[in-house]
Amino acid sequence: MPFQTTFTSASDTMPLDLGSCIFASAESADVIRYLAYLALLLSVINALLSPANLRHIPTVGGPSFPFLTYRGAFNVLRDIKGVLRHGYEKYKNRTFKIAFPDRWVVVVTGKRLVDELQRLPDDAASFIQATSELTAFGYIFGQRMREDPFHVPMIGSRLTKHLTAIFGEIDEEIHAAFQDYMPDCGDEWTPVHVIDVARDVVARASNRVFVGLPVCRNPKYLDMLVHFAVDVARTRNFIVWTPAPLKTLVSKTVTNIDGRLKEGMQYLRPVIEGRTGLMKKFGDSWSDKPDDMLQWIMDEVVARNAPAEDILRNILFINFAAIHTSSNSFTFAMYHLAAIPEFIGPLREEMERVIAAEGWTKTAMGKMWRLDSFLRESQRVNSINPLAVQRMALKPVTFSDGTYIPAGTVLATPAYATHFDDENYADAAAFDPWRYVREKEQDLSPSKHQFVTLSSDYVPFGLGKHACPGRFFAANELKIMMTYVVMNYDVKFEQEGIRPENVHLGLAIMPDPKAKVLFRKRKSGEV
Ligand SMILES: *[C@@H]1O[C@H](CO)[C@@H](O)[C@H](O)[C@H]1NC(C)=O
C-alpha cells in the first residue's frame, strides 16, 4: 500500500497531523472515493463559475452544459486517449475542448495549428504555467519552481553540452547498477519486474551525474528518490480532483515534500556543506571547483540568495523528471522486445558491430540506427503524456483558422491521435521498429528521423523551444540500458507475442506495472 507508507511518514512532519486524521485508517480506494465526491461537488461549482468564453469551441467527451461537465471530466480521466482520438477524428485541423474537473483544456490539432501553437512567443503563451496547471508541480515543489525554473537551461544547454565528457560515468554507473539490481539469471528463464529495475538503474545513473559518487550509490537516497517520483506521478491525479483551496495541503500530504527535503538533506549535507565552505573561502578563484549539476544548482541558489533547501528542491525536481519518464520509456520498449523477440537479433547484430568498432561511447550510441529507430517507434506508440505541447495563453490569441482563445486558456495537442494518424504514418497502428531506419536511408539528412528529433507529427518531447531539455541525456541513458540488456540477455514474455496493455492513470499512460519479463543469460556468441 504505497499510500499508507506515505501518509504514515507525512504525519511525522505535519503540524496538525491532518494527513493521518483524514487518511490513517482509510484504504487508498476510500481516499480516492472521498476525493472524487469532493471533486464532483467542486466541479459543479467550478462549472457554474467558469467563464462562458469557450462556448464557441466544440466540446468532446461529455456535455458542455455547466451542471454536467463533471461527466466529461470523468470520461477524460478514465480514457483520455479515447476521448482525444474521438475529438481528433471529428475536428482534425481544428480545435475542440475537453473537461477536467478543475478546468477546460483546448486541444489543437493538425500540422498548421500545432505549428502556430508551438511558435507562440513567451509573452503570449507560457509552457511552465500550463504544465504547472496540468501536473500540479507548483503545488508539489513550491511556487518558486514555477516562477523561476532555472533548472531548464541548466539541463537543456549545460548538461547536454557535457554529455560527451560525462558519457563514461553514465555508462559505468549503468553497467554497475544492472549488475547489482538484476536478479541472478543463469540459463533458466527468470521473471524480472522491469519497471522496478529500470527505476533503480535510472535513479542511480542519473544521480551519478546530478550529485556524483558516493551519494549516487547510497541505497537509502535512491530509494527515497524513486518513491518520491512515484508519489509525485500519482499526486498529479489527486490534485486535479481537489478543490483549489485544498490543493496545497493534499499535494503535501500525498508527496510529503517537506519530509523528502529533510531526508534528502541528510544524505547530501556533507557534500553541500563542504562545497559551501569552499565557495565562501575561494569565491570565483576556486580553481578545481566541481563542474557538475549539484554545483550548477548551488551557484544559482547562492546567486538568487534563495534558501539552501532550494538546492534539494531542485535535485528532487530533476530527479522526478528524469526517473519517472526514462524508466517508463525503457519499460515500454522492453515490453515490445519481449513480446516479439525476433527484434532482438537485428538489434544485437548492430550493437556488437558498433561497439566493436567504437567501444561504449557516445559516438557508438549515435551510430545505432536500429536502436534509435526502435526507441522512437516505442515512444510514438507509447507516450507517457497524452497531452503534448502544453501552453497557457497569457493574452488573447487568434489562430489562423479564426479560432479565438481567451487569456488563461490551457492549450495542448493530442500525442496518441497524432501518432496514430495514417496521414502521418504509413500503417500507423502497427509497431514497426525499423520505420525510421528506412526513412534515414532515404533521406539526405538522416538526423531528421532521430529519437530526439522534434516534429509536428511526433510530439512526446513537446515542440519548439520548450521541448523536453533532458531528451539528449535521456536518449543516451536509454540506449546504454537497452544495449546492456540486449547484449547480455535473452528476453520474452511467458505468453509469446502478447504485450501487456498500457495502464491509464488519469492523465498519464504507463507500462503495465505488474508485468514481468522473463530474462535468461544470453549464450555467448549467439546473435
Ligand atoms: C488536414 O490538413 C492537411 C494539410 O495540413 C490535409 O492534408 C488534410 O487532408 C486535412 N485533413 C482534414 C480531415 O481536414
What are the extents of the domains in the chain? 10-521
**Domain 10-521: CATH superfamily, name plus number:** Cytochrome P450 (1.10.630.10)
Atom 1 of ligand 1 has which residue's CA nearest to it?
A: 93
* 424 CB-side CA count, 13 A: 22
The string of DSSP codes covering 357-413 is HH-SSHHHHHH-HHHHHHHHHHHHH--S-SEEEEEEESS-EE-TT--EE-TT-EEEE
One-letter amino acid of 49: L
* pLDDT by 10s per residue, the chain, length 527: 333 333 233 333 333 333 333 333 345 666 666 666 776 666 666 555 555 588 899 999 876 665 556 667 777 878 899 999 999 999 999 999 998 877 889 999 999 999 999 999 999 999 999 998 888 888 888 888 888 888 888 888 899 999 999 999 999 999 999 999 999 998 899 999 999 999 999 999 999 999 999 999 999 999 999 998 888 877 777 777 777 778 888 888 878 888 999 999 999 999 999 999 999 999 889 989 998 899 999 999 999 999 988 999 999 999 999 998 999 999 999 999 999 999 999 999 999 999 999 999 999 999 999 999 999 999 999 999 999 999 999 999 999 999 999 999 999 999 999 999 999 999 999 999 999 999 999 988 888 899 999 999 999 999 999 999 999 999 999 999 999 999 999 999 999 889 999 998 778 899 999 999 999 999 865 55
* Contact residues for 405 (Cβ-Cβ < 8 A; gap 6+): 106, 393, 396, 397, 398, 399, 411
Packing angle of the helix pair 309-339, 471-488 (nearest 10 deg): 40
Verdict on whether the full-model pTM lies above 0.85: yes
Contacts of 449 (CB under 8 A, 6+ apart): 373, 376, 436, 439, 440, 443
Q: Which of 88, 93, 413 to mutate to test the pocket of ligand 1 (most atoms within 8 A of CB)?
A: 93
Q: In the structure, how many helices (H) and strands (E) does the chain have?
A: 23, 12
Q: How far does the centroid of ligand 1 lie from the alpha carbon of residue 92, in Å?
A: 7
CB-ligand 1 contact for 164 (6 Å cutoff):
no
Report the nearest-CA residue for atom 5 of ligand 1.
Answer: 111
Sign of the CA dihedral 300, 213, 173, 291?
positive
d(CA 453, CA 435): 14
List, in sequence order, every beta strand (DSSP E) within 123-253: 125-126, 190-192
- Helix (H) or strand (E) holding 481, with range, is helix 471-488
Q: What is the 3-state secondary structure (H, E, C) of 315-336?
A: HHHHHHHHHHHHHHHHHHHHHH
Q: Which atom of ligand 1 is nearest to the CA of 92?
A: 13
**Ligand 1 contact via 424 beta carbon (within 6 Å):** no
User: For position 301, what pLDDT does the model report?
Assistant: 94
Pick from 103, 105, 122: nearest CA to 50 = 103
CA angle 252, 256, 257 (to 5 degrees): 85
Q: 468 labelled as ligand-binding?
A: yes
Q: How far apart are CA 187 and CA 184, in angstroms?
A: 10
Euclidean distance between the first and the last CA atom of the chain, given in angstroms as a whole number:
42
DSSP H helices in 211-292: 219-240, 244-255, 257-282
Nearest protein CA to atom 7 of ligand 1, as residue: 423
Task: Decide whether any atom of ligand 1 lies within 6 Å of the 511 Cβ.
Answer: no
Distance (angstroms) between ligand 1 centre and the Cα of 93 equals 6
